[in-house]
Amino acid sequence: MARYTGASCRQCRREGMKLFLKGDRCYTDKCAIVKRNYAPGQHGQGRKKVSNYGLQLREKQKVKRIYGVLETQFRNMYERAEKMSGKTGENLLSLLERRLDNVVYRMGLANSRKEARQLLTHAHFTLNGKKVDIPSITVKVGDVIGVKETSKSSAKFKGIVEANTKVAPRWIDANVENMTATVTALPNREDIDLEIAEHLIIELYSK
């Protein structure tokens, strides 16, 4: 499967904002946006006029990078959102939030979505009591996510729990000490605390 193997901080610099791709580092002075708040490359500091299409494309790329999804995955999710009732943009963001790797991150049991995907692919989590290793699963109301019993005693998870300062969104009932969480509702637009102009993505795909 294709995946980005370059420096995560370059992605933040390209989008001109913190995407929180490296966990705790993003909150320190070592963050690339703090040190070099301009696009990467030799022409990164040049000022360029951006077309409407350019704005739409950048917004799509930004959201893909935040959630760590590839183009085909993102397109498929957009098509699912389009078939659902309600606003397509809000449906798209809701589907992205309900990805299992994002839920693990929102629970506070991973420092970043990238780390959450790695922990999931290594089968450290369960979904409704069954071992799961697919980060892209879409959770639904009533689903229970937890750390596998044999993994709870690991130094990795103990360290994450001790250092955790995240507050889970209201649609997730998280118990970080027990390393479990229940999805109590579907996320709506007010629950997503990210600077995203989803209408630009819809305009891009509607052409």
The per-residue pLDDT for 1 is 42
Beta strands in 28-143 (DSSP E): 125-127, 130-132
What's the predicted TM-score (pTM) here?
A: 0.80
Q: Given a cut of 80, is residue 195 above it in pLDDT?
A: yes
The residue-averaged pLDDT of 58-71 equals 91
- Which domains does the chain carry? 8-96+193-205 (1.10.1050.10), 100-183 (3.10.290.10)
HSE value, Cβ hemisphere, 13 Å, CA-based, for 42:
0
Q: Given a cut of 80, is residue 7 above it in pLDDT?
A: no
3-state class (DSSP) for residue 20: coil
Confidence of residue 49 (pLDDT cuts 50, 70, 90): confident
The CA-CA-CA angle for residues 191, 194, 199, to 5°, reads 95
* Residue 124 in tokens: 């450290």
For tokens 């993003």, the residue is 26
The residue-averaged pLDDT of 29-36 equals 56
* Residue 161 in tokens: 């729990």
